[in-house]
A and B are shown apart, each in its own frame.
Chain A
Amino acid sequence: MIRHLFKLIWNRKRSNFLMILEVFFSFLVLFGVCSLLISFYINYKKPVGIAYENIWVLNAQAHDIPELEKRQRLEQMVKRLDALDEVEYVAIGSENGPYTRNTWNSGLLYNNKEVIANMVYVQHDAFKDVMGLEMVEGRWFTENDASSNQEPIILTLDAKEQLFGDEPAVGKKVTMGHMPGDPIIEKKVVGVVEAYKPGGELESMGESYFLRTTLADTAQQSHSMIYIRVKPGTSPVFEQRILDQVSGAGPSWTLNLQMMPDLRTSYLKQSLSPVITLLIVCGFLILNVALGLFGVLWQSINKRYSEIGLRRALGATSGNVYKQFLGEILVVATFGLLLGCFFAVQFPLLGVFDFPAQIYTTAIIVSVLLIYALVILCAIYPSRQAAAIHPATALHEE
C-alpha cells in the first residue's frame, strides 16, 4: 500500500508540487526555530552557578587620581561596606561580572589542549561567598596563596573537563599567555567550582577560570567592581546607605550601584524579546500554512469524488479510504521533508553558525516530527470527510 501511495504522489507531483514546497519551507522555518530553541535550552540547562538574588554591584570608577590613592580608597570602601549589618560579604572582582555584558575571554593550555574561557580576576577571597559558588574539588583561594611561590588558579567544572577530562585537576599546572610576545605564565590548579557562567542563562560558554590578585599587589592591575552580598530581604532603600558609605571617597569618583536581579531582568528582556518576536511570527507562518493545507486538502477531496467511489466499489472500506488520504499527505510531507533534510544536514556538515552538530540533528528530528504532526492534524478532518463519502452517489457524479 505504501508503494502504491508513493507511486500515486510521484505521478501527481505536479499538482502536489506546491504542497511539497510548502512543507519544505515550513520545515526550514521550523528547523531554524528549533535549532535556536534547542541551543537556548542546552545553554539554559548549563547551570549559571551564581546565587544572584541578593547580590548588588557597585561600579566605582576613579578619574585621574594616582593609582596608589585609588587602591587605598577602594580598600577603605570594602572595609566600610563589610562593617554594615545588612552586608554579608564584599569582594572586588574584574569588570566582567555576571549579567554586566562585559566579556573578557582568554585561553588556557594544558598538554596542548586549549580552552577559551571567561577570565575572572578576584581581588578579595570573599568573592566565592558573594557569588555563592560551590566547590567540587580542592579549595578556594586563601590568604596563604599570597605567600606561595605558585600562582593559584581555580577552574569551573566545564573548563576542567575540557582540559583534564575525568582526572582530578588539583595540583596540575596550566599555562596562559600564548599570544606572540606575551610572557608565558604558569598557574597551579588549586580548586574546581561547580559552575560560573557570567554570560547568564542563555550564554553557551560555561568555561571560566579565576585568578587571584590583591589590592596590595601593585604589580597587577587593580579592579573596581565591588560585588556585595546583602542579607535576604534587605530593602532597596539601603542603596542610599551604601552610596553614603562610599561617597566619602571624593568627587573624582563615579559610583554606580545596581542590583543583580535587575541586571538579570534587563538582560533576559533584551535577549528574549527578539526570540519571542521570532516565535510569534513563525508560529503564525506555520498556522497560516496549516490552514492553507487544510483548505487545499478539503478541496482536493471534492475533486477526487469519483476516485473515492471507485475505490469503495473495488472493495476499499471507509477505513481504507481514510488511511489512504492520511497516507497520501504523509507521503507528500515526506517528499518535502526529504528535500528539507537535504538542506538542513548541510548545516552540521558545513559547520554553519558554530552550533554543535547535535543541536542540528535534534532540531531536524523535532522539526520532522512536528511537520508530520501538523499535516496529520490538517488531514484528519478532510480524510474523515473522504471516508464518509457514499460510493453509490460518488460514482454517479460525473
Chain B
Amino acid sequence: MLKNYLKIAWKVLQRRKFFTFISLFGISFTLMVLMVATSFADYILGPHMPEVKTDRMLYVNRLKVTGEGYTMNTNPGFYFLDKYVRPLKTPQDITIYSSEFAYNAYVDNRKLPLGVRFTDASLWNVLDFVFTEGGPFNKAEVESIARVAVITEATRENYFGEGKKAVGQYIEVDRTKYKVVGVVKNIAATRTNTYADVWVPYTNLKEDYRKPEFGGSFEAILLARSPEDMAVVKAEFYNVIKDVPIPPTSNGVHFKNLQVHADTLVESFVRGVGRVDGEVNLLLFSMFVILGVLFFMLLPTINLVNINISRIMERTSEIGVRKAFGASSSTLVVQFLVENIILTLIGGLIGLVGAQGVLMLINDSGLIPYSDLSINPTIFVFSLLICIVFGILSGVYPAYKMSKLPAVAALKGGIV
C-alpha cells in the first residue's frame, strides 16, 4: 500500500511542475531557516568545546544589588567569588576567571585586537580545551604570578606567523610580556562565557582584584560530580548566598538586596535574554520559543494549505472515481497526507542542503569569529521532526476538505 502511495505521490508531483516548484520553494526555505536557527541555538546552548560537560556545569556570572531606587547589575568580583563561592563543598571543582578584557597587541606595525581572560588554574580542569601545543599553566604558577600565557591557534598564527611554533616565545599584552606555555584550538565567539584569545594567571591583573567589593569583572563555573548532583550543588550555593551579609554602603548608597545565581548554560542564557531576576522558568521560555517558531511557520503553512487545496480541486474527478470504486474517506486522507509528507521531506532535504550552505557561508564570512557551525545529528533529527510536523500541519485541512467532497459532485467537477 505504501509503495502505491509513494508511486502516486511521485506522479502527482510531476503532474503540475509549477505547483510542485512553489510548494518546494516554500517548504525548503522555511525549513532551511529553522535548521539554521536550530544550529545556532545548538551552537550557543549545546555542549561545544570548551564547554563540553554542560550537563554538570553551573555558571555564576551575574550579580545584582538593589537599594533605595538604586540598582547595580554587574559581574561578580573576585573577592566575592573567592570568599563565598570558592569554599563550596559539593562541587567537584570550581574555576574563577575574569570576563574578557580587550587589548591591542602590535605585530609588525599591525594592530591585533586580543581578548584576554585572567584565570585560575582550575579553568583547565573544568573546561575541555584541546591543546595542540604545550599545555596549561598550573596552580603554583598562578600563585607565583608567573608571566605565562595560553593562546589560541588563531592568535599564534596572527602573532607569530603562519606555521610557527609559539611555546617558549613571548607575547606582549598590555605592555607586559608573557611566555607562551600552551596553544589551544580556537574558541567560537558564540561561547560568550569562555571565549578568549589569550589566558593568563589572574594574579597578573593590574587592578586590585582583592578589593572587598561584591561587584567586579569575574565569573565562576561550578562543576558538579554528576548531572544528578547539580541540584545538590545548587542547594548548597543558594544556602550560602542567603547568608551573605550585604555590604552596608558603597558610594553612599545603602544596598538592601543581593542576587547571585548559579545557572546552567541554558538558564544563564534565558536570564540574560529575558532579564529574569528570580528562578528561570524554562517551561515558559520553551513556550515562547515554540510560539515564535509557529508564528514563523504560519505564513508558509497557510500558503502551502492554499496551494494544496488548489491541487486537490484539480484532482476532484480522480477523487470521485476513487470514491466511486470504494475508497473510503480515511484512505484518501491518508493518501493525501502521505503525499504531503513526502513533499515536505523532499523540501526538507533541499532545505538541509541549503542550511549547510548558509552555515558554511556564515563560517567563511567571519561574521562570528572562529565559528564552526554545522548540521550535527541532533539538528538532523530535529529537522526531520520539523518536516513531519510541517507536513501534517499543512496537509490536515486540505485532506479534511478532500474527504468531505461528495463523490457525485467530485465526479462532475462542481465544488461549492
Chain A positions within 8 Å of B, measured between CB atoms, are 18-19, 21-22, 25-26, 29, 63-64, 179-180, 236-237, 239-240, 243, 247, 251-252, 254-258, 269, 273, 281, 284-285, 288-289, 291-292, 294-296, 298-300, 302-303
Contacts and interface: CB of A to CB of B under 8 A. Distances in A.
A205 to B, nearest CB: 21
Interface string B37-76: 0000000000000000000000000000000010000000
17 contacts: A18-B302, A18-B305, A21-B302, A22-B303, A25-B298, A25-B299, A236-B111, A240-B109, A247-B175, A251-B206, A255-B175, A256-B103, A284-B33, A291-B22, A292-B303, A299-B19, A299-B314
A22 B102 contact: no
Nearest to A281: B33
Interface string B94-117: 000000001110100101000000
A201 B131 CA distance: 43
Contacts of B206: 63-64, 251-252, 254
Contacts of A243: 106
B86 to A, nearest CB: 23
A396 to B, nearest CB: 14
Nearest to A243: B106
A140 to B, nearest CB: 32
A64 B106 contact: no
Contacts of A269: 367
Contacts of A25: 298-299, 302
Contact of B309 (A18, A29, A236, A247): A18
A252 B175 CA distance: 10
Interface in B262-289: none
Interface string B368-412: 000000000000000000000000000000000000000000000
Nearest to A24: B302
Nearest to B109: A237
B303 A289 contact: yes
Contacts of B208: 63-64
Given A251-B206, A256-B103, A257-B104, A288 B303 contact: yes
A288 B32 CA distance: 14
Consensus secondary structure, chain A interface: helix
Given A63-B206, A237-B109, A292-B26, A299 B299 contact: no
A188 B299 CA distance: 57
B47 to A, nearest CB: 25
B151 interface: no
B14 to A, nearest CB: 16
Contacts of B22: 288, 291-292, 294-295
Contacts of B25: 288, 291
B18 A295 contact: yes
A295 B299 contact: no
A255 B103 CA distance: 8
A284 B109 CA distance: 45
Interface in B302-332: 302-307, 309-310, 313-314
A274 to B, nearest CB: 11
Contacts of B174: 254-255
Nearest to B70: A179
Given A180-B69, A257-B104, A18 B306 contact: yes
B195 interface: no
Interface string B327-360: 0000000000000000000000000000000000
A344 to B, nearest CB: 16
Contact of B306 (A257, A284, A285, A296): A296
Given A180-B69, A240-B109, A299 B310 contact: yes
A244 B304 CA distance: 65
Given A180-B69, A257-B104, A64 B207 contact: yes
A378 to B, nearest CB: 11
Contacts of B29: 284, 288
Contacts of A298: 18
Contacts of B30: 288
A63 B175 CA distance: 14
B300 interface: yes
Q: Which of A64, A288, A292, A296 has the most CB of B within 10 A?
A: A292
Given A251-B206, A252-B206, A288-B300, A295 B310 contact: yes
B344 to A, nearest CB: 14
A258 B22 CA distance: 50
A26 B299 contact: yes
A27 to B, nearest CB: 11
Interface in B189-207: 206-207
A269 B176 CA distance: 31
A255 B26 CA distance: 52
B347 to A, nearest CB: 12
Contacts of B309: 18
A31 B151 CA distance: 48
A251 B174 CA distance: 9
B400 to A, nearest CB: 13
B18 to A, nearest CB: 6
B75 to A, nearest CB: 16
Contacts of A284: 29, 33
A291 B26 contact: yes
B64 to A, nearest CB: 19
A285 B299 contact: yes
A281 B29 CA distance: 9
A299 B18 CA distance: 11
A240 B26 contact: no
Given A291-B26, A292-B303, A299-B313, 20 more contacts: A21-B302, A22-B302, A25-B302, A63-B208, A180-B69, A236-B109, A240-B109, A251-B206, A254-B103, A256-B102, A288-B26, A288-B299, A288-B300, A295-B19, A295-B22, A295-B310, A296-B310, A299-B314, A302-B314, A303-B313
Given A256-B104, A285-B300, A292 B111 contact: no
A204 B299 CA distance: 31
A29 B104 CA distance: 43
A284 B302 CA distance: 15
Contacts of B33: 281, 284
Given A25-B298, A26-B299, A239-B111, A63 B306 contact: no
